[in-house]
């Protein structure tokens, strides 16, 4: 049953209640006195993954799925205390992500003043919850740390790009912070109040990806038992972040191009499109110019995405930033783990400053987390570092990488053809190195995965995923 | 006859909405289409997803039917060859019946839908 609730007597014509709620940039949930869902808005759906069709008539704690629901339901507290309650909590959405939120509850009265139900607003706290233990505003754009010339150039232009509402393409090797930059751009833009929806174009099979991104109509294919809005609709008035855009299949590239031209989205099986006010940020570690040259990526799509391009340099090209990041992560993990470590021995520092960091900042972060975990004294010693980096050849600091990308209003540039094979080689080498590291760590720990994970500076679940991905077992 | 162990984190008679906030797990031993051979409830001293995962492995669970679970634990349990039906909500008995008849899917909402006391 499709409801169209109305608001009467506010204006001359009845107003569409659902439409008004959909324009509010907070998740809104309306419940009856039995805490069953009566209505929810689009922002709530974007946060939790539950549509109104899925949630209506269901007890709210099975839809919101917040820890507060289980530990100390704020709705029941509102009823007991007869006033609004606000609390911070977290939810797990249908993508299995845990998100920090603030929940505010209120009772709803009818026109006679009788208690009729409840309303909850859910505020997404992700932007304020990344919780840097220190804030070094002079050197950072949001949570991004850097002082090198290449990062300074990026910091100077990012705020302007954020405000411009232009499509942005972020390139760079894995672990250079593309996700962080994308989110920072959103949070600094005029769309910060709107949703930030991320899609990994390489994570889903092509058949599911179209439906996931653009939505589908009921009956569009076998199994399509209801309309699904798709991520673009959920991102309305916000930002959609397409990571691994190089993995987007060609047919979907066409559909994306249509959106960039007309701002209209056509869900799968739909005869009519809808206007979506969405800003696109795309990211890739691949060489898109090379992919265009071999016919794997559309040139016209690259031109449209490339309106503003941000290239994040690999860590080995960021000079003094390595020391800055080492100190930042030392401070972060020391405080997180309640240790008193205030520096490095000379040998440890020398190893850290001369390591190649093929996994870039992500690898540096893992190494520091491991070192802080393992260190016993007040300094990080060389033998507190993962064994594999002690055996590594020191970095050759003279870099042959191409010059930094122009970040403002460029057309696509033809990168030197030597760049594509060199980048591929780096990726292959890193995969082979990482696979061997894992095997060596497992040998050293005699098959004990917990120990191996610790020695590699990874969480257990990350090690298990990599073991599966590399088919080591 | 191959016996199969199914674990369902519960809160009263319902599946607990959050895997990581489980303090009680019911473990049912059965062959897929026959009666329950054994039923026991494990009460955890505190809610801890790591400890719950450990319990599931120690108990040699084959299938987990649960509510919302974080991806890290979902992937871990799948890696450990446990079949996971996550995002399921409603009465645990109904979820188990659906599993027995192979009509259970991840994300199934098994509540009777009602608003203001009326079925919808």
B42 in contact with chain A, both atoms CB, cutoff 8 A: no
Q: Average pLDDT of A303-313?
A: 90
Which residues of chain A lie closer than 8 angstroms to B17, CB-CB? 61-62, 65, 69-70
User: If contacts are CB pairs under 8 Å, which of residues 62-81 in chain B contact chain A?
Assistant: 67-76, 79
Q: Is A428 a residue whose pLDDT tops 80?
A: no
Integer Cα distance of A215 and A218 in angstroms: 10
With 0-12 CB in 10 A as exposed, 13-18 as middle and 19+ as buried, what is A80? exposed
Strand partners, B98: none
Nearest Cα neighbor of A210 from A270, A248, A252 is A252
Contact B17 A57 (CB under 8 A): no
Integer Cα distance of A229 and A122 in angstroms: 20
Which residues of chain B lie closer than 8 angstroms to A35, CB-CB? none
Q: Is the dihedral of CA A243, A259, A288, A204 positive or negative?
A: positive
Q: Which pLDDT belongs to residue A137?
A: 35
Taking CA B102 as the corner, what is the angle to CA B101 and CA B107, rounded to the nearest 5 degrees?
120
- Give Cα separations from B5 to A279, B20, B29 (angstroms): 48, 20, 4
Q: Which pLDDT belongs to residue A412?
A: 38
Confidence class for position A332, pLDDT limits 50, 70, 90: confident
Q: Average pLDDT of A54-77?
A: 92
- Contact between B84 and B66 (Cβ < 8 Å): yes
Integer Cα distance of A46 and A187 in angstroms: 17
Which residues of chain B lie closer than 8 angstroms to A460, CB-CB? 76
Contact A464 B79 (CB under 8 A): yes
Q: Which pLDDT belongs to residue A401?
A: 37
Which residues of chain B lie closer than 8 angstroms to A468, CB-CB? 79
B49 in contact with chain A, both atoms CB, cutoff 8 A: no
Which residues of chain A are at the B interface, by a Cβ-Cβ cutoff of 8 Å? 1, 32-34, 36-38, 54, 56-59, 61-62, 65, 67, 69-71, 91-98, 459-461, 464-465, 468
Q: Which pLDDT belongs to residue B33?
A: 60
Contact A461 B75 (CB under 8 A): yes
Q: Is A134 a residue whose pLDDT tops 50?
A: no
What rounded mean pLDDT belongs to chain A? 82
Which residues of chain B lie closer than 8 angstroms to A94, CB-CB? 87, 107
Report DSSP state, residue A272.
Answer: S
Q: What is the ipTM of this complex?
A: 0.95
**CA gyration radius for chain A?**
25
Q: Which pLDDT belongs to residue A406?
A: 38
Best residue in A37, A39, A52, A57 for a mutation probing chain B (most B CBs within 10 Å): A57
Q: Where are the beta strands (DSSP E) in A266-371?
A: 274-275, 279-284, 308-311, 343-344
Integer Cα distance of A188 and A158 in angstroms: 9
CA dihedral A218, A221, A223, A229 (to 10 degrees): -40
For the stretch A79-89, pLDDT in tens is 888 888 888 89
Q: Which pLDDT belongs to residue A141?
A: 57
Q: Is residue B93 classed as helix, strand or coil in its secondary structure?
A: helix
- Contact between A438 and A467 (Cβ < 8 Å): yes
Contact A62 B111 (CB under 8 A): yes
Nearest chain B Cα distance for residue A342, angstroms: 31
Contact B72 A92 (CB under 8 A): no
Searching chain A, which residue's CA lies closest to the CA of residue B87? Answer: A94
- Contact between A202 and A212 (Cβ < 8 Å): no
Output the six-digit token pair for B103.
């009509």
Number of helices followed by number of strands (H, E) in chain A = 21, 18
For the stretch A17-50, pLDDT in tens is 988 998 888 999 999 999 999 999 999 999 999 9
Total beta-carbon pairs less than 8 A apart between chain A and chain B? 83
């Amino acid at each position: 049953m499709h409801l169209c609730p109305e608001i009467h007597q506010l204006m001359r014509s009845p107003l569409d209640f659902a439409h008004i709620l959909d324009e509010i940039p907070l998740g809104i949930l309306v419940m009856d006195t039995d805490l069953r869902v009566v209505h929810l808005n689009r922002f709530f759906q974007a946060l939790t993954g539950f549509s109104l069709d899925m949630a209506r008539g269901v007890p709210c704690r099975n839809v919101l799925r917040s820890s507060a629901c289980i530990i100390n339901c704020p709705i029941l507290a509102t009823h007991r205390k007869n006033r609004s309650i606000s609390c911070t909590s977290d939810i797990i959405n249908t993508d299995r992500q845990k998100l920090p939120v603030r929940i505010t509850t209120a009772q709803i009265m009818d026109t006679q003043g009788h208690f009729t139900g409840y309303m909850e607003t859910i505020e997404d706290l992700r932007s304020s919850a990344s919780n840097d233990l220190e804030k070094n505003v002079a050197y950072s754009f949001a949570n991004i740390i850097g002082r090198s010339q290449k990062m300074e150039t990026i910091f100077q232009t990012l705020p302007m790009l954020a405000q411009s509402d232009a499509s942005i393409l972020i390139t760079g090797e894995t672990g250079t912070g593309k996700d962080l930059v994308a989110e920072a751009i959103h949070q600094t833009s005029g769309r910060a109040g709107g949703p930030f929806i991320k899609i990994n174009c390489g994570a889903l099979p092509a058949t599911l990806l179209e439906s996931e991104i653009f939505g589908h109509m009921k009956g569009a294919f076998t199994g399509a038992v209801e309309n699904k809005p798709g991520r673009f609709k959920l991102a309305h008035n916000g930002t959609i972040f397409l990571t691994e855009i190089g993995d987007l299949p060609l047919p979907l590239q066409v559909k994306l191009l249509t959106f960039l031209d007309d701002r209209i989205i056509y869900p799968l099986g739909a005869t009519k499109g809808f206007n979506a006010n969405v800003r696109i940020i795309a990211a890739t570690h691949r060489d898109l110019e090379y992919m265009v040259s071999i016919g794997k990526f559309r040139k016209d799509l690259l031109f449209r995405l490339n309106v503003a391009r941000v290239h994040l340099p690999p860590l080995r090209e960021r000079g003094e930033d390595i020391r800055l990041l080492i100190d930042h992560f030392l401070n972060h993990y020391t405080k997180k783990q309640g240790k008193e470590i205030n520096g490095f021995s000379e040998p440890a520092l020398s190893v850290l400053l001369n390591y190649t960091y093929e996994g870039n900042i992500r690898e540096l972060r893992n190494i520091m987390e491991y070192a802080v975990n393992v260190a016993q004294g007040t300094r990080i010693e060389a033998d507190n570092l993962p064994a594999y980096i002690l055996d590594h050849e020191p970095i050759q600091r003279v870099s042959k990488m191409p010059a930094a990308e122009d970040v403002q209003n460029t057309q696509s540039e033809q990168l030197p053809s030597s760049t594509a094979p060199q980048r591929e080689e780096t990726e292959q080498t890193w995969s082979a190195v990482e696979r061997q590291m894992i095997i060596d760590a497992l040998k050293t720990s005699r098959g004990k995965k917990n120990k191996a994970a610790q020695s590699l500076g990874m969480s257990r679940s990350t090690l298990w995923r990599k073991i599966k991905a590399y088919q080591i077992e | 006859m191959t016996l199969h162990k199914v674990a369902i984190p519960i809160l009263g008679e319902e599946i607990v909405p959050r895997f990581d906030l489980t303090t009680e797990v019911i473990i049912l031993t059965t062959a897929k289409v026959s009666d329950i051979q054994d039923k026991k409830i494990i009460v955890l001293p505190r809610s801890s997803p790591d400890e719950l995962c450990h319990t599931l492995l120690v108990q040699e669970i084959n299938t987990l039917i649960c509510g919302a679970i974080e991806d890290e634990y979902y992937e871990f349990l799948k890696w450990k060859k446990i079949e996971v039906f996550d995002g399921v909500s409603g009465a645990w008995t109904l979820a188990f019946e659906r599993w027995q008849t192979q009509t259970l899917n991840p994300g199934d909402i098994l509540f009777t839908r009602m608003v203001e006391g009326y079925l919808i």
